[in-house]
């Protein structure tokens, strides 16, 4: 079998023009597919940044909430009710809302303010500078040093500014595993300070963060929260819900899906057409091995190998090109949100296999139907 | 017998042909275009199924075999030299010659080594690394011959071996086949309408209109 594959390899690469056309077409197609999917993955990751950065096991929310950014305030009694549930180790309030920061030059910058439970500071970020206990000081805020950090004129510990006309002091700089989606800086403070600084509706409770006594109590807690008329989602479930929202209830998912499908069709048509032409040009020569004694499966092996080789080579080059360009883009634009995940790579790989399969089917059909008698006829 | 089509459109390509061939013999099948030579050759080679009748090779009725077994039969028993050579332009001469061995699943290096040996036999070892396009018509024909004999088949089938060659070259090619390739353990069947190479046949079968019209034992047989 190895010698037959060597023959297939030589037949392919010695036709430099066709091979180059196949590789270029597939590389371009894979690049487009991976780029589209990665962009979408980056968007989804950023959309769930608050959930991922907070690290809570269970999130209690109004049942109408679709994404973490669009919280619906709940009355305070819900917190007491959740705390009283059997199986709950603790439950703490969590605030998330928007505010305006007045910068030194007098301009304003929108920010996202996270209010952590005053007692426990559950959901606090890891600090790069400062101490988290300093959040208990007057007017204290922690600034997240992420891609949006520069928009606050790079504050350090001790920097003061106004938030919604309230004096504020930076007591720490925090790291964030995932940056936010909307391109605005994130600040942490205590829950009470957040609801004091930021105008709100009658109810102020954005979410309740819950830690169960054990993991197997989660379903029970979720059921009892549902009986209260609210919804409790694990972090994974919340991220999944956010993903579905952006995929199916905004134009983002649909448009990127269309672009990905177009990229797939581009790759398929280039590969299929070029491969078909390659087979046609060599068709009568394939007749000679058939007459000599090649079985149908020998020829199928040759064509399948050629299709797989070009597809996998194009896949590798396309993924590599995409990774390099994303890395370069992030050097220039630190908040460029594209993420190549294993799921992206697997999806692109499956699509490449489909391209290889369809391209080789087109060629195989032609070769299998070839009558060796035709080469005698000349 | 072999016919194409049915009813009013039926065309009889071979009508009641019966012949035999022997090891150590160079058998010519001659006749004008359309006489059924190529059709007969294809039936004898296990490539075209007859409408009726049998083909027995070394005691085996080949048309009782399935497609894969027929392919195996051709691979192990027959060697082909096609009228237009049908060499792969993207492979070297040696790689083209090695194809029958590769189809027999011989390792690549071993197949190439054997191919080189047979290129020596046909006097083209210096051309081993060249693609066929860089060879003359006669050289390509010799490459095709080397490919046909590299697996040492019992039966060699040549379809119009001199069609693309000038008279002198064609004659030399067939003389080479007669003297270097034909042996007591091999049978060579040549389809041709080239009178210039008639002297090399042991027996000449003339076909016309799908029938054998004449069988001539030639002087070469006595030698």
The string of pLDDT tens digits covering residues A83-92 is 999 999 999 9
Q: What is the pLDDT of residue B222?
A: 47
Give the residue from B79, B49, B54 showing the smallest Cα distance to B159.
B79
**B71 — contact with chain A (CB < 8 Å)?**
yes
Domain spans of chain B?
2-89+143-222
Interface residue B78 vs chain A (CB under 8 A): yes
Find the helix packing angle between A235-248 and A251-281, rounded to 10°.
70
pLDDT at residue B214 above 70?
yes
Query: What is the reported pLDDT for A376?
Result: 66
A271 — pLDDT class (breaks 50, 70, 90): confident
| A373 has a pLDDT exceeding 80 | no
Query: In the prediction, which pLDDT does A268 show?
Result: 81
Split at pLDDT 50, 70, 90, the class of A361 is confident
* Residues B147-202: tens digit of each pLDDT: 999 998 999 999 888 887 888 888 888 888 888 888 888 899 999 878 788 888 88
| A292 at B interface, C-beta within 8 A | yes
Q: Considering CB atoms only, which of B47, B48, B68 is closest to A295?
A: B68
- Give CA angle at A227 (A223, A232), nearest 5°: 50
**Which residues share a beta bridge with A186?**
A112
Q: Do B159 and A376 touch (CB under 8 A)?
A: yes
Q: Is the pLDDT of residue A145 over 80?
A: yes
**pLDDT of the residue at B219:** 60
| pLDDT one-digit tens code per residue, A164-176 | 889 999 999 999 8
> B202: distance to nearest CA of chain A, Å?
24
* Residues of chain A contacting B38 with CB distance shorter than 8 Å: 376-377
Give the mean pLDDT of A256-277.
82
Mean pLDDT of A271-300: 82
Residues 175-194 of B with CB under 8 A from A: none
- Other CB atoms within 10 Å distance of the CB of residue B6: 7
pLDDT higher for A238 or B83? A238
CA distance A298 to chain B (A): 8
Mean pLDDT, rounded, for A202-227: 93
pLDDT at B223 over 50: no
Q: How far is A269 from chain B, CA to nearest CA, in Å?
A: 25
Chain A residue closest in CA terms to B48: A373
Cβ count within 10 A of residue A43:
20
* Mean pLDDT, chain A, integer: 89
What tens digit of pLDDT does each residue of B8-61 get?
777 777 887 888 888 888 999 988 888 888 888 888 888 888 888 888 888 888
| Residue pLDDT, tens place only, A332-355 | 877 787 888 898 899 889 988 888
Share of chain B above pLDDT 70, in %: 97
Q: What is the DSSP string of A67-89?
A: STTS---B-THHHHHHHTSTTEE
β-pairing verdict for A166-174 and A140-144: parallel
State yes or no: pLDDT of A213 exceeds 90: yes
Residue A29 has pLDDT above 80, yes or no: yes
| Region A235-261 average pLDDT | 87
Highest mean pLDDT among A225-229, A277-281, B207-211, B216-220: A225-229
Residue A162 pLDDT more than 70? yes
Closest chain A residue by Cα to residue B160: A376
Q: Half-sphere exposure of B10 toward its Cβ, with a 13 Å CA cutoff? A: 10
Cβ distance of B47 and A6 shorter than 8 Å: no
B142: nearest Cα among B180, B193, B189:
B180
Q: Do A10 and B90 touch (CB under 8 A)?
A: yes
Yes or no, beta carbons of B100 and A292 under 8 Å apart: yes
Angular region, A92: left φ>0, alpha ψ -120 to 50, beta rest: beta
Which residue has better confidence, A336 or A331?
A331
CA distances from B67 to A7, A50, A284, B62, B74 (A): 23, 65, 20, 10, 11
- Answer yes or no: do B82 and A284 touch at CB < 8 A: no
Q: Mean pLDDT throughout A59-63?
A: 95
Give the pairing type, strands B78-81 and B155-159: parallel
Closest CA to A30 of A329, A301, A310, A373: A310
Q: Can you tell me the distance from the alpha carbon of B98 to that of A357, in angstroms, rounded to the nearest whole number?
A: 29
Q: Which residues contact A90 (CB under 8 A, 6 or more apart)?
A: A83, A120, A122, A210, A211
DSSP state of A301: H
Q: Which CATH number fits domain B2-89+143-222: 3.40.50.2300, 3.20.20.60, 3.40.50.300, 3.65.10.10?
A: 3.40.50.300
Asked casually if ipTM beats, i.e. exceeds, 0.85, the reply is: no
């Amino acid at each position: 079998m190895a010698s037959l594959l060597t023959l297939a390899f030589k037949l392919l690469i010695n036709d430099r023009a066709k091979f180059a056309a196949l590789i270029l077409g597939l590389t371009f197609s894979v690049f487009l597919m991976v780029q589209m999917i990665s962009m979408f993955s980056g968007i989804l990751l950023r959309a769930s940044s608050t959930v991922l950065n907070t690290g809570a096991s269970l999130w209690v929310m109004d049942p109408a909430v679709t994404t973490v950014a669009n919280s619906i305030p709940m009355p305070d009694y819900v917190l007491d009710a959740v705390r009283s549930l059997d199986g709950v180790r603790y439950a703490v309030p969590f605030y998330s809302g928007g505010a305006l920061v007045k910068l030194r030059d007098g301009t304003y910058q929108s920010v996202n303010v996270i209010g952590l439970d005053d007692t426990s500071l559950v959901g606090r970020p890891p600090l790069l500078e400062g101490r988290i206990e300093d959040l208990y000081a007057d007017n204290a805020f922690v600034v997240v040093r992420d891609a949006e950090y520069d928009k606050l004129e790079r504050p350090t510990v001790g920097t003061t500014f106004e938030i919604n006309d309230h004096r504020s002091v930076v007591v720490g700089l925090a790291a964030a595993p995932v940056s936010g989606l909307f391109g605005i800086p994130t600040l942490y403070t205590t829950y009470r300070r957040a609801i004091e600084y930021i105008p709100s509706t009658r109810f102020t409770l954005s979410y309740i963060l819950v830690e169960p006594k054990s993991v197997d109590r989660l379903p029970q807690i979720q059921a009892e929260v549902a009986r209260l008329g609210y919804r409790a989602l694990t972090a994974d479930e919340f991220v999944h819900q956010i993903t579905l929202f952006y995929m199916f209830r905004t134009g983002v998912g649909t448009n990127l899906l269309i672009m990905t499908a177009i990229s797939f069709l581009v790759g398929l048509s280039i590969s299929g057409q070029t491969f078909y032409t390659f087979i046609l040009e060599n068709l009568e020569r394939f007749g000679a091995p058939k007459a000599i004694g090649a079985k149908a499966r020998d020829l199928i092996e040759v064509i399948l190998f050629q299709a797989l080789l070009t597809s996998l080579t194009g896949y590798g080059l396309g993924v590599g090109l995409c990774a390099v360009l994303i890395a370069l883009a992030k050097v220039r634009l630190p908040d460029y949100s594209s993420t190549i995940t294993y799921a992206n790579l697997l999806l692109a790989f499956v699509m490449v296999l489909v391209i290889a399969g369809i391209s080789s089917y087109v060629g195989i059909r032609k070769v299998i139907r070839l009558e060796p008698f035709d080469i005698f006829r000349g | 017998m072999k016919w194409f089509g049915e009813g009013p459109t039926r065309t009889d390509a071979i009508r009641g042909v019966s012949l035999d061939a022997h090891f150590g013999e160079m058998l010519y099948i001659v006749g004008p275009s359309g006489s059924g030579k190529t059709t007969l050759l294809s039936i004898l080679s296990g490539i075209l199924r007859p409408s009726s009748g049998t083909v027995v090779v070394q005691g085996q009725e080949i048309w009782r075999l399935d497609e894969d077994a027929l392919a195996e039969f051709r691979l192990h028993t027959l060697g082909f030299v096609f009228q237009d050579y049908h060499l792969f332009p993207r492979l070297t001469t040696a790689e083209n010659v090695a194809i029958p061995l590769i189809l027999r699943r011989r390792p690549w290096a071993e197949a190439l080594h054997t191919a080189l040996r047979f290129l020596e036999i046909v006097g083209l070892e210096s051309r081993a690394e060249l693609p066929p396009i860089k060879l003359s018509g006669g050289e390509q024909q010799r490459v095709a011959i080397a490919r046909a004999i590299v697996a040492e088949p019992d039966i060699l089938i040549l379809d119009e071996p001199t069609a693309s060659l000038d008279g002198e070259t064609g004659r030399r090619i067939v003389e080479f086949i007669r003297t270097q390739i034909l042996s007591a353990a091999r049978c060579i069947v040549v389809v041709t309408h080239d009178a210039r190479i008639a002297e090399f046949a042991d027996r000449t079968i003339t076909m016309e209109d799908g029938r054998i019209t004449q069988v001539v034992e030639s002087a070469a047989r006595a030698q």
